[in-house]
Amino acid sequence: MSENCIFCGIVAGTIPSTRVAETDRAIAFMDIAPATPGHLLVIPREHSTDLREAAPEDLIAAMSLAQSMVSRVIDRLDGATGANLLSCIGADAWQSVFHTHLHVIPRYPDDPMVLPWKPESGDLDEIKAVHAKLI
């Protein structure tokens, strides 16, 4: 548990949250700054800054709970036809709370959320050069 972490406060019950579901290792609760109606967060109970530091068991628990939350938002929210699952790792990737978490964002036809990039074909030579660094 990290003393200054808002999500650790949610786990401890010292910071209020609107919990949707929980397991012995993970909690799902409503995001207070939702991208779309029904946007929720899934966090491991154990503190880690991001998924690079999280224990494998915590990642498995969080992903399993996120999987059930994706099904729940699509099945139960009127008009939801899909969902995005997002993990932000580092400030440059929009992480604002440094406790491992997954965003479950319900998607609706014509909702205002747009991808931050428009996928286009990349430069094949650059792709191959980056590939060589990753293998």
pLDDT digits 0-9 by tens, 66-112: 999 999 999 999 999 999 999 999 999 989 999 999 999 999 999 98
Q: What pLDDT does residue 1 have?
A: 77
For residue range 24-74, list pLDDT tens digits in order.
999 999 999 999 999 999 999 999 999 999 999 999 999 999 999 999 999
Rounded Cα distance between 128 and 135, Å, is 11
Q: Using the 8-state DSSP alphabet, how is residue 91 labeled? A: G
- 101 as an active site residue: the answer is yes
Assess whether pLDDT exceeds 90 at residue 117. Answer: no
Q: Is the pTM of this model over 0.85?
A: yes
Is residue 134 helix, strand or coil?
A: helix
Tell me the domains of the chain and their CATH numbers.
Answer: 6-134 (3.30.428.10)
Rounded Cα distance between 2 and 48, Å, is 9
Rounded Cα distance between 10 and 47, Å, is 11
Q: Which residue is catalytic, options 47, 99, 101, 103?
A: 101
Q: Using the 8-state DSSP alphabet, how is residue 46 labeled? A: S
What secondary structure does DSSP assign to 13-30, as a single string? TSS---EEEE-SSEEEEE
